[in-house]
Amino acid sequence: MTDAGDAKEAVLGRIRAALAGAPSEVAVPRAYQRASGAERERLVHDFVERASDYRAAVHRLSESELRERVAAVCRDHSAARLAVPPDLPEAWLPEGVTGVRDHALTHLELANLDGVLTGCALAVAQTGTVVLDGGAHQGRRALTLLPDLHLCVVFERQIVGTVPEAVAALEGAARRPLTLISGPSATSDIELSRVEGVHGPRNLVLLLVRSAP
């Protein structure tokens, strides 16, 4: 029996043979919109509108209100124990909510918690998407895929206009797994009937923190 390594090399060998003589580089047209040029308030408006279209719950607040709003969301969802990245700021966690730091929690332990609280790398106004790259206050990918409730803190200054702007901003994280989240996890694969919670949380709450004037 051929092992996986041999099979991979066989497939790659056939691809290389098929591409022999082909140009090494192909010019890709870049005539599409790459930057929005919109003012900050317009970016925030578009992000809120499109994230809401995807059924994310969006709360706009000041940074001083963050802890209180986390507490309110947890009460609404009967959530008392949240998974959090090891470096999540203590100031984001309210009294009465236990933050369980992810020091190699098992998948079962993650799934049994009431939710997860993280930050993000950036957000995209064009698509209402938040992007996590495993950087500060985000934790590893499994952290935001297994609990059924995801509270994600987004600062207005983290919103970019378009997907190309997001890709450029994430260049330094190119070798880390990226998680792009547009609303709660959902699929309509079967007879176009929407089912939520298939590949991740059924409930996505975005805590959008206003930028200081």
pLDDT band at 14 (very low <50, low <70, confident <90, very high): very high
Contact call for residues 121 and 155 (beta carbons, < 8 A)? no
Locate tokens 């994600």: which residue? 152
pLDDT band at 22 (very low <50, low <70, confident <90, very high): confident
Cα-Cα-Cα-Cα dihedral sign, residues 67, 73, 78, 82: negative
- Tell me the pLDDT tens digit for each residue of 85-122: 999 999 999 999 999 999 999 999 999 999 999 999 99
Question: What's the pLDDT at 146?
Answer: 93
pLDDT band at 20 (very low <50, low <70, confident <90, very high): confident
pLDDT band at 199 (very low <50, low <70, confident <90, very high): confident
Question: What's the pLDDT at 213?
Answer: 61
pLDDT band at 6 (very low <50, low <70, confident <90, very high): confident
What six digits make up the tokens of 175?
Answer: 């070798």
- Tell me the pLDDT tens digit for each residue of 160-181: 999 999 999 999 887 889 999 9
What's the rounded mean pLDDT across residues 54-58? 96
Contact call for residues 59 and 208 (beta carbons, < 8 A)? yes
Distances (CA, A) of 48 to 28, 113, 117, 124, 139: 32, 28, 19, 10, 24
Contact call for residues 145 and 178 (beta carbons, < 8 A)? no
Question: What's the pLDDT at 148?
Answer: 94
Question: What's the pLDDT at 46?
Answer: 97
- Tell me the pLDDT tens digit for each residue of 61-88: 999 999 999 999 999 999 999 999 999 9
What's the rounded mean pLDDT across residues 11-26? 88
What's the rounded mean pLDDT across residues 29-39? 90
- Better-predicted residue by pLDDT, 200 or 88: 88
Question: What's the pLDDT at 61?
Answer: 97
Distances (CA, A) of 29 to 26, 33, 34, 64, 168: 10, 11, 12, 46, 17
Contact call for residues 150 and 110 (beta carbons, < 8 A)? no
What is the rounded distance in angstroms from the CA atom of residue 79 to the CA atom of residue 81?
6
